[in-house]
Amino acid sequence: MSGYEAVTPMPPEPAAPAPPALFTRIDHVGVAVRDLDESISWYETTYGLRVLTRETHDDQGVDEAMLAVADTPAGGSYVQLLKPTREDSPVGKFLARNGPGVHHIGYGVVDVEAALRSIENTGVRLVDARPRHGSMGASIAFLHPKDTGGVLTELVQAPRGAAAGG
Ligand code: CMX
Ligand code: CO
């Protein structure tokens, strides 16, 4: 006897299957700004970016501009400049608390409804239980920043046949 007890080795735990990747690309970075025209000019003159669309979304309380950064086979990527139309909106409250800066990240997904259900099943709180309309015809939904490491996260499904931002 060696002094060691014979130990039957445990069979290795079966590895949990890796979940399929939900994100296809970074669709856009949403930036809170105080003056939309001034910010657009700064992005144009400093970075040479081009404005694709300007929209007002009363439900979100924003005036916004989408600037094109890149076009990829999986879809486009953009900077979304956001100016609040009222103080008690998400971007209005963010600006009052933090000043101008990155407000959220929008990730491209193939199917926003399926992605929402999959993420919800992991226990992350959803801001939007169902997808809604976003910029440039996209279908979007937000996840709560308190459950995503402090990053307000938007899922973006491009409209059929188009590369779109949210
Ligand atoms: N990033 C990280 N944390 C954020 C945040 C952000 N953008 N906005 C708010 N929070 C945090 C706050 O810091 C605060 O944290 P503490 O409790 O630790 O102080 C907490 O969330 C609550 O902040 P609040 O100002 O009281 O905000 P509300 O709870 O009223 O709303 C949220 C938070 C996420 C539900 C709201 O911002 C929301 O519905 N966002 C999604 C819609 C949106 O952002 N629309 C504008 C963009 C539209 C587009 O991209 O098309
Ligand atoms: Co956005």
Determine whether 60 is an active site residue.
no
Distance of alpha carbon 95 from alpha carbon 48, whole angstroms: 25
Q: What is the pLDDT of residues 119-163, one digit of tens each?
A: 999 999 999 999 999 988 999 999 999 999 999 999 999 987 665
Distance of alpha carbon 67 from alpha carbon 93, whole angstroms: 23
Distance of alpha carbon 81 from alpha carbon 58, whole angstroms: 15
Residue 103 Cα to ligand 2 middle (Å)? 9
Shortest-distance Cα residue to atom 18 of ligand 1: 146
Q: What is the pLDDT of residues 48-93, one digit of tens each?
A: 999 999 999 999 999 999 999 999 888 899 999 999 999 999 999 9
In eight-state DSSP terms, residue 126 is B
Residue 74 Cα to ligand 1 middle (Å)? 28
* Ligand 1 pocket at CB < 6 A: 30, 60, 62, 80, 82, 90-91, 93-94, 103-104, 127, 134-135, 142, 144-146, 150, 152, 154, 166
Does the pTM of the predicted model rise above 0.85? yes
Residue 166 Cα to ligand 2 middle (Å)? 5
**Phi, psi at 25, each rounded to 5°:** -175, 170
Q: What are the structure tokens assigned to 29, written together? A: 């970075």
